[in-house]
Amino acid sequence: MIRKITALILALILIAAFPAGAEAGQMGEYVGEYAAEATLWFRRSDGTELTSVDRTLVVAEGKTPERCALEALLHPTGEDWISPAPQGTQLTRLEKSGGIVTVDLAVDLSYLESQQELALMRTAICNTLLSLEGVDAVNLMLNSRKEAVCGLPDGVATEKDAGAAVEWARFQADAERCGQEGGVSQRWAVLYFPSQNGLWLLPELREISISEGDSAARLMEEIIAGPAREETSARLLTVGALAAEPTIEITPAGEQIVRIALNASVRDSLLLQGTPEWLLSAAISMTVCSFLPEVDGVTITLGEEPVFGANIRGANRIFEDNIIRRQDFNMYVGGICQLRLDDGGGNLTPVERVTSAARAESPWHVLQQLIAGPTSGENGVFQVTPAGVSTQDLLGVRVENGTATVNFSANFYRLCQPLNPRQERTLVYAIVNTLCQLPPVKAVCIRIEGAEVETLAGEISLTGELLPSPGMNAF
C-alpha cells in the first residue's frame, strides 16, 4: 500500500515536472553507433584467391552493418587488402528483409576479365555479408541485373563458400551437368509474394532445380506452388494460371525480357482474394529479375491483354514498353516485424506483421506496434500493456552500444502500478524480447520520463539493463 502511494506521488511529480505527451520527452528513435563483427574477404595479391580478415565494424548512425561491411570491402584501407570488385564499383542499392540481403552494385564489367573473376567477386561479397549476424542469404546483382556464371544463374548464396577456386569448380561442374540431356542443378532463388495485407512484397528463399534453358519455367512453377509462410504471404497464382511457357526475348533496344502469359482468370482470382493487381506485376518481375541472368524485365499478359501499368497504392504507374522492371517495385519489399504478445498464460507468443523493411527493423516502430496490441485478425494473443496505455506514452527509443533505452511517460508508469507480478513480467519481457530480436539490440533499459525508476510494480528491477528471456518465448 505504501509502495503504491509512493509510486502515485512519484508519478504525479513526474507529470508535473515534465509536460505530458509529445511536448517533452518525445525523443523518437535514435540508433547510435554500435559495433558489429564481420569477416571481410579481400582478394589476395596474386588475384586468384581470397583472404579473410575478421574486423569489428563501427556502424554509424543511420547505417546498417551490411552497408558498412560492403563499404569496407569495396574501399579497403591499408595496402595489404585488395577489393574483390573492380575499381569504381559502387553500391547502388541494398535491400534486407527477413535475413535475405539483395545487393545491387554498379560495376564496370569490362574490368572483369573472366567469369572466374566474376565468381571470385561474388564469393567475396557473399561470404562477407553472410558473416554478419542476421544475414541468411545474399543475392548479388550487378547493374540491376543478375549475371550468369558459366551460362547458368548463380542464384542466391546461402552458405559461405570454401574458397573462390572451389566455387568456380562447382559452377563449372554444374554447367557441364546441365549441358547434358536431363541434367539438372540446384540453385537458391528469392521468390516474392504479396503480403496478406496487400501492401508489400515479402521475399522467400526457395531451392529450385534448373536445367539449361528452363529456369523461367521453374520459377513460375515455384510461384504457382505458393508461399511457404501463408500467415504473412498470399498465394499469387494457382495451377493453370500460366497460359503458355515463359519465353525470353531480346527487345529492339537490346534488352532481354521474359514474356509471361497468364490466363485472364488470374485477375478474377486476385480480386477474389483481395490482392491488388499491382502486386502480381511486382512479385513476378522481382522474382524473375532477381534470379534469371541478364534479364532486364518482364512483360505480363493477362489473357490477351498486356499489363502496361499498375495502380500502386492509389498512384498510377505506366510501364515503359510494357516492360516491368525490378526497379519499379524494389521499394515495396517489406519486412516482417515480429512482436511478442501475451498468450494469456504468461508466455510470449510471436506475432508477425508486415511492414516496410526499414520499419520492420526499427525499434521505435516495433514498440509502437507492440503497444497498439493485437489486431482484429490476431486471435489467442492479448495486450501486454495495461488498459489506457497508448503509443503516445512511448516517448523514445535510443539504441547505443547494443542497449535500447526505452523511455515511457509518467502516465504509463501510473497505469502500471496495479499490475500483478505476472502481468508486470509479461509486459517488461514483451518489450525486451521484442526489441532484442532486432540486430543491434542486445539488452533493454526502461526509463520513465527519462529518469531511472526502481520498478514498475515491484517485481522487476529496472535499475539496470535487462537481457531477453528466451524461456518465455512460446513457439
- Smaller CB separation from another protein, 186 or 401: 401
Buried b (16+ CB within 10 A) or exposed e, 447-466: bbbeeebebbbeebebeeeb
Q: Is 469 in the site for another protein (CB under 8 A)?
A: yes
Using the structure block, give the residue that is written with the C-alpha cell 514483451: 430
In this chain, which of 15, 443, 449, 450 binds another protein, going by CB under 8 A? Answer: 443
- Smaller CB separation from another protein, 157 or 441: 441
| Inter-CA distances, 393 with 284, 361, 403, 406, 449, Å | 42, 21, 20, 11, 10
- Smaller CB separation from another protein, 117 or 424: 424
- Smaller CB separation from another protein, 152 or 448: 448
Q: What is the Cα–Cα distance from 396 to 367, expressed in whole angstroms?
A: 10
Q: Is 67 in the site for another protein (CB under 8 A)?
A: no
Q: Is 55 in the site for another protein (CB under 8 A)?
A: no
CB contact at 8 A, 426 and 339: no
CA 300 and chain centroid, separation: 26
Q: Is 470 in the site for another protein (CB under 8 A)?
A: yes
Q: Which of residues 287-326 bind another protein (CB under 8 A)?
A: none
DSSP secondary structure string, 153-177?
E---B-S--S-HHHHHHHHHHHHHH
**Rounded least distance, CB 99 to another protein, Å:** 16
CB contact at 8 A, 202 and 336: yes
Q: What is the Cα–Cα distance from 426 to 122, expressed in whole angstroms?
A: 45
Q: What is the Cα–Cα distance from 400 to 232, expressed in whole angstroms?
A: 31
Here's the x/- map for another protein, 379-418, by CB under 8 A: it reads as -----------------------x----------------
Q: CB count, 10 Å around CB of 305?
A: 10
Q: Which of these ranges, 65-73, 152-160, 260-268, 422-430, lies near another protein under the rule CB under 8 A? A: 422-430
Q: Which of residues 448-467 bind another protein (CB under 8 A)?
A: 459-461, 463-467
**Rounded least distance, CB 430 to another protein, Å:** 12
- Smaller CB separation from another protein, 286 or 457: 457
In this chain, which of 428, 430, 438, 453 binds another protein, going by CB under 8 A? Answer: 428
By DSSP bridging, strand 152-153 and strand 148-149 are antiparallel
Q: Is 471 in the site for another protein (CB under 8 A)?
A: yes
In this chain, which of 404, 429, 431, 435 binds another protein, going by CB under 8 A? Answer: 429
Residues that bind another protein (CB under 8 A): 402, 425, 428-429, 436, 442-443, 459-461, 463-472
